[in-house]
Each structure stands twice: as structure tokens, then as C-alpha cells.
Amino acid sequence: MHKNPIIIANWKMNGLKAEGLEIIRALGNYARDQKNISEIVICPPFTLLFPIAAALGDLKLGGQDCSAYEKGAHTGDISAMMLKDAGCSHVILGHSERRQGHNEQNEMVREKSSRALEAGLTAIVCVGETLEERKQARALEVIGEQILHSLPKISSPANVIIAYEPVWSIGTGLVPKDSDIAEVAEFIARIAKGVRIIYGGSVKSGNAAEILKLNHIAGLLVGGASLDAGEFWRIINSANIHA
């Protein structure tokens, strides 16, 4: 159903309008002569959704979070329908920076995912263990609980992607051994049958191709490296090799 790898850029809280549009224009120039291109989703800050939507071309747009509520008196929140209205097809949910920095529990992630699916968005649900949990050999237990309690009942392979992001690898330059990534991907594939599994955590052009060779890995969630158009394009090219 999904032949090509999916490559998702998470810009986090980075980029003003001029910077964001410059990255998008550069990616468009790189992509102009590319025939077999991966599915690419750009997830900028909320303030850049509308200007980037107008400049995306064949790229797709995603949000970095959405509210657990459909609408109402929730100052500062952004609803899933608002993301859809802005041109989004995807939304990242349950990222460890939200789980830790905003104390989002699995149940909150599930409610947000429900709103996303109801709005017709694809939910990119992030799971992953801390370094302490890995040292305690609890990685699979923690990830299993996150999947069990973070995915709504209406989840399906058509509307959910699971992103495995070990918390200790995000932004640190540390990447798990291939065997560790493969073990987690195999585990996720057994309990979330048919759902696309992607990897995130210090992804760069130097390791992207090797990660994409692993069984069950159908794409990448790229953080800091996606803010450099040239580096991000090299990662995309790594994915095209595996298309």
C-alpha cells in the first residue's frame, strides 16, 4: 500500500517565515528533476503552516501537535480541524518533548490522536524509552504500554504511523545499535499489525540509509537535520534508494 519510505521533517520551535520558505524553495529546486521521490511531510511551527502550505508543491504538510478537544474555551490550543483547514494531512503526537516537557500521559495522547483521526489527519504517534528504562531492560515493556494506551480504537494502518524515537537519542547525536532498532521495530510490528513504523532520533545523512535497510522500518522522522535543506535532501535521497 505504501511503496516509498515516508520522510517527516519536525522543525520543532525553529524558523521564522523567511527561513522556512527558503528551506521549502530549496527542497523544491532539489525535487524538480526527481522522478521517484519519497513521501515527504514538513511539520513546521504553527505560525508557518499557511505560508508554507502555499509553497509546498508536491510535499505534504503536518502539524507538531493538536488539542485533545474539538473546539471551545482552550486558550492557546490548536484543534485538529484547524490543522486540516491549514492544509495539513499529518500531525505528530506524543513526542517525548511533549510527554516530558508538558507532562502528556498516554491517555492524553490517545485523546489527541482521536481528534486527529476524526478530522481526517494521519496521526504520527511517537513512542520510545528513556536511557534509564533501556538500562533496566524495560524498553519493550514501556513501548508496549505506550502503544496500548496511546492509540485510539479507530486506529488503522491507513490513518496511523508509529514513530519509534528513543528519548535518549533525540538531539544527542546518539543512535541505538541497528540490532536494538530492529528489535523494537519487530516488537511494534507484532502488536500493531500493518501500521507503518518509522525511526527518529539523531537521524542524519550518514546513518539514514543503514536505518532504512532494517526490517519493518518504513521511513524516518528527522529533527534538526531537516532544518538544513541540503542535508535533508541527502536523507531523502537515502530513502529513494530504498523505494
How many residues does this entry show for the chain?
Answer: 243
Integer Cα distance of 44 and 22 in angstroms: 13
Integer Cα distance of 164 and 156 in angstroms: 17
Single out the catalytic residue among 104, 129, 133, 165: 165
Single out the catalytic residue among 39, 90, 95, 97: 95
**DSSP characters over 142-202:** HHHHHHHHHS-TT--TTTEEEEE--GGGTTTS----HHHHHHHHHHHHHHSTT-EEEEESS
Is residue 46 helix, strand or coil?
Answer: helix
Mark whether 231 is an active-site residue.
no
Mark whether 216 is an active-site residue.
no
Residue 15 sits at φ, ψ, to 5 deg, of: 105, 125
Residues belonging to the active site: 95, 165
